[in-house]
Amino acid sequence: MMRSFLAGLVVLALTASAPISTSARADNWPQWRGPHNNGVCDEKNLPTKFDKAMNLVWRLPLPGPAGSTPVVWGDRIYLTSPEKDTLPRQKAGQPRAPRGRGGRRNQAEQQDLLLMCVSADGHELWRHAVGHSNRNVMGDEGNLCSPSPVTDGKHVWTLMGTGDLACYDPEGKQTWAVDLQARYGKFQYQYGLASTPLLDGDRLYLQVIHGDGDASTHEQFVVALDKATGKEIWKQTRISDGYQENEHSYASPMMYDDGKVRLLITHGNDYIVAHRLDTGEEVWRCGGINPKSHYNQFLRLVASPAIEDGVIIVPSAKRGPVIAVRGTGKGDITDSKDFQLWKRDRGTPDVPSPLIHDGLVYLAGENGDLTVVDAKDGKEIYRKQTVRVRHRASPVYGDGKIYLASREGEVSVIQAGREFKVLEKNELGEPIAASPAISNGRIYLRTYDALWAVGKK
């Protein structure tokens, strides 16, 4: 998956005019889900145990908290941050702030939303304001810096929850910027836009799945933009019969590539949908995520699909179903025995996205349970507890290990495979909502307080 794309990115990096070190020949982490866009890296000799006294290469304090994952290319790391920290902090076991659109859990703040560039030796190189109005969501859960940047080594693109999308070169010079709400209309998200753009070739793909119950006034759509200019290549309306909170999808688009067929995959509002890359036209869709017989009006989708070896693992939300489908269907494949491989009626991760590696699917529950199933038939291999606290970060694989970060700042390292074995539990003491990034022998951890680099010095 995505290996030819990665090879192309390496060529771009080596020919870029901006200074890129020879470390770019190692694994880069160019997108939220890594070099193969599936949470898997090929790095070896990664640390198992780490803290401030062991394997800490550096720790850089950050202006404010965010749940976005850093991206890495060569000797440069890009990440987002609000200009200051306004999130209420709660320790494990403490009651959370009350819900409500206008209360503490959705408090608006006038502050800059920043894109930052950090060197591989832990020094900030530059920062630029991309958006100018922040909003805390769900109390201590996050803000409008949730989408992760993407990079190809020659440029970096960042999207904020305000709809501000911008492109910069490695030296911090802005190439272009666009306000998506000014272009496409006001967003209607209860907790803000959180979907990360997908970079593929010369295009950026974005899904905007939102609404207020009136599809005639708030269109849901998928769009392809020219990465060099930000200009629209195509825009496709995404039709759905979902309603209420289900109209709000916080998932990110993914690329399906089985070596013969390449499709854009979008996820939200009760369906996973495949689109043609040249026009955005719908190729197939799969429902069953939110069965009509017992419809849940509040089943918003946050976790994104995972794709490997022609199989798409489709998460839902709130402990609902997990579905595995083939990516080569046509039309509505909701109940198709030809394209639906298996379905688990319960046990989906709510926020962390699934991980697939070596024929196994790893489902990280929001309560700290890790469930592993066989990718071929969905049969459960084990379900075990890691840390019984909130989990928001998606698991990543590297060097035979699964790295799983809890919201309270503990990073569990689990042995990959059919046997459950906790190799280490690392206490960072700082809240984490961002997924780890791995590059050039190091693990980068974006906590609410700082950017950590652990591993090879």
Determine the average pLDDT of the residues in 299-309: 96
Distance of CA 425 to the CA centre of its chain: 23
**What CA–CA distance (Å, rounded) separates 155 from 203?**
13
Nearest to 32 by CA among 280, 199, 257: 199
Note the pLDDT tens digit of each residue in 238-289. Answer: 999 999 999 999 999 999 999 999 999 999 999 999 999 999 999 999 999 9
More confident residue, 93 or 69: 69
Measured over the CA atoms of residue 208, residue 143, residue 173 and residue 28, the dihedral's sign is negative
Note the pLDDT tens digit of each residue in 162-182. Answer: 999 999 999 999 999 999 999
Domain 3-89+99-455 class?
Answer: mainly beta
Note the pLDDT tens digit of each residue in 179-193. Answer: 999 999 999 998 889
pLDDT for 99 beyond 70: no
Question: How many Cα atoms are found within 13 Å in the side-chain-facing hemisphere of 263?
Answer: 25
Q: What is the DSSP letter of 54?
A: B
Q: Given the structure tokens 């995505």, which residue do they identify?
A: 2
Among the residue ranges 52-56, 69-73, 404-408, 423-427, the one predicted with the least confidence is 52-56
DSSP bridge pairs for 256: 263
For residue 19, the model assigns a pLDDT of 38
pLDDT for 7 beyond 80: no
Q: What is the DSSP letter of 306?
A: E
pLDDT for 390 beyond 70: yes
For residue 216, the model assigns a pLDDT of 57
